[in-house]
Amino acid sequence: MPNKAQPHVALLASPGMGHLIPIIELGKRMIRSMALIVDLFGANAFEIAQEFGVLKYVFVTTNAWFLAVIFHSSSLDKQVILEGHVKGRKPLKIPGCKSLSFKDTLESLHDIDSLDESEFIGTKMTKSNGILINTWQDLECSTIEALRDNNYLGGLIKVPIYPIGPLVRQEGKQVLDKQAKQWLDKQPIESVIYVSFGSGGTLSAKQMTELACGLEQRQQKFIWGVRPPSNNALGSYFTIGKNDGDGTPDYLPQGFFTRAKDIGLVIPMWAPQAQILRHPSVGGFLSHCGWNSTLESITNGVPMIAWPLYAEQKMNAAMLTEDFEIAVRPKVSTTEEIVGRGEIEAMVRMMMADKEGHAMKNIVKELKQNAEKALDKGGSSYNSLSQVAQDCLHHLQV
């Protein structure tokens, strides 16, 4: 058994890992532990945790609003969601929280099977000893308070809610290569926009052309983590494509590399995002609004152009623009229409040069400080995580 002073935790925070770790190995690890932490898709392992008398936690890798939507949708009649929200395009009213407009809806609310899955996940979460969320008290105060209310959704949740974020990727082994570092070091403070669509996002060839032309037209200094386009007309999840060698690939405007060589740097496939966002020359982030990217941007005090593609990214984009006011979003839907080069140029100018962008920068820098305070000793997230550790110790002692 673990030493009393050192609680052990078996962490299964990735959906993939749950399938990869053989059950016996998982059991062995849990015997030596007293808490199992899984993400939303790993709650099946709770039954084994129960057998071994181990505490069970869910770690929600996104935000509290997303969690409220999952719980609320699992508490509603599915036909009400399908008829009213999906077919009727009416906002989904989430008690105590921001409503979810149809334009920002989740794909998982669109059919019975996915709704069944959400309900299953919601039910499993209520069987845990607590829900850890990668957010912090001040960022989503009213939503967190709503989730913590014992009577919320008819008393559905009843497990403690622990906002423990922002937990972001550490720089770790990712290295900013010499060329990128030298290039960034030469740029003025906050003059560069970083462009990335996350671990799996891609754009269509047409959309990539518009984006390249928008950056070029604005003559904006940029670093772009470029992936081959998707076949989908607008953008989608990553599929491996063909890259035609060293010169400008055929999915970018002809001669783009040559013309852009003084203003930008293209990094193929995977960029060391944590290092890039941390660099003082970076002053804006055109992002797909994955929650990790969002937190990495906030914790580096970098405002955003919100360009959501899939999953809960449209919800994140809505929060960033409407609630936090630290991002600008294209007028057209990034999942339904092509965003033209003129609009891209205008958004980049607004974020990097106009007074609205300046205001966004000030707000995001305040949020950065606020996030640091939450994580510092005695801060709200520090205290939340300490409470979890206390519960683990207490569990060991009884």
Specify whether 39 is catalytic: yes
180 scored as a contact of ligand UDP (CB under 6 A): no
User: Given candidates 91, 96, 200, 340, which one binds ligand UDP under the rule CB under 6 A?
Assistant: 200
Can you tell me which residue has the tokens 């409503």? 99
C-alpha angle 373-379-384 in degrees, rounded to nearest 5: 135
Judged by CB, which is closer to ligand UDP: 42, or 290?
A: 290
**Rounded Cα gap, residues 170 and 199, in angstroms:** 16
- Tokens matching residue 32: 């030596």
Judged by CB, which is closer to ligand UDP: 211, or 274?
A: 274
Choices 65-73, 125-133, 291-299, 373-381; region in contact with ligand UDP by CB under 6 A: 291-299
Alpha helices in the chain (DSSP H): 15-20, 23-31, 46-52, 64-75, 78-80, 112-125, 141-148, 178-186, 205-218, 256-260, 273-278, 291-299, 313-318, 341-352, 355-375, 380-397
Q: At what angle do helices 141-148 and 64-75 cross, to 10 degrees?
A: 40
Report the relative pairing of strands 235-237 and 201-203 from DSSP bridges.
antiparallel
Whether 303 and 364 have beta carbons less than 8 Å apart is answered as: yes
Judged by CB, which is closer to ligand UDP: 33, or 105?
A: 105
308 scored as a contact of ligand UDP (CB under 6 A): no
CB of 202 vs ligand UDP, minimal distance in Å: 11
List, in order, residues 6 or more apart from 70 with CB less than 8 Å away.
40, 118, 121, 122
Q: Name the 3-class secondary structure at 5.
A: coil
Q: Which of residues 85-124 bind ligand UDP (CB under 6 A)?
A: none
Judged by CB, which is closer to ligand UDP: 120, or 270?
A: 270
Helix %, strand %, coil % of the chain (to 5): 45, 15, 40
List, in order, residues 6 or more apart from 316 with CB less than 8 Å away.
62, 63, 289, 290, 291, 294, 306, 308
Whether 112 and 30 have beta carbons less than 8 Å apart is answered as: no
CB of 164 vs ligand UDP, minimal distance in Å: 16
Alpha helices in 247-290 (DSSP H): 256-260, 273-278
296 scored as a contact of ligand UDP (CB under 6 A): yes
Judged by CB, which is closer to ligand UDP: 33, or 63?
A: 63
User: Given candidates 78, 169, 368, 373, which one binds ligand UDP under the rule CB under 6 A?
Assistant: 169
Choices 45-53, 85-93, 147-155, 195-203; region in contact with ligand UDP by CB under 6 A: 195-203
The residue whose Cβ lies closest to ligand UDP is 290
Judged by CB, which is closer to ligand UDP: 36, or 226?
A: 226
User: Given candidates 199, 231, 369, 390, which one binds ligand UDP under the rule CB under 6 A?
Assistant: 199
Report the relative pairing of strands 161-163 and 130-133 from DSSP bridges.
parallel
Considering CB under 6 A, how many residues would be counted as binding ligand UDP? 16
50 scored as a contact of ligand UDP (CB under 6 A): no
Catalytic residue among 8, 19, 116, 246: 19
User: Given candidates 15, 189, 233, 270, which one binds ligand UDP under the rule CB under 6 A?
Assistant: 270
Q: Which of residues 213-242 bind ligand UDP (CB under 6 A)?
A: 225
List residues with catalytic annotation.
Answer: 19, 39
Judged by the rule CB under 6 A, the positions of this chain that interact with ligand UDP are 169, 196, 198-201, 225, 270-271, 273-274, 290-293, 296
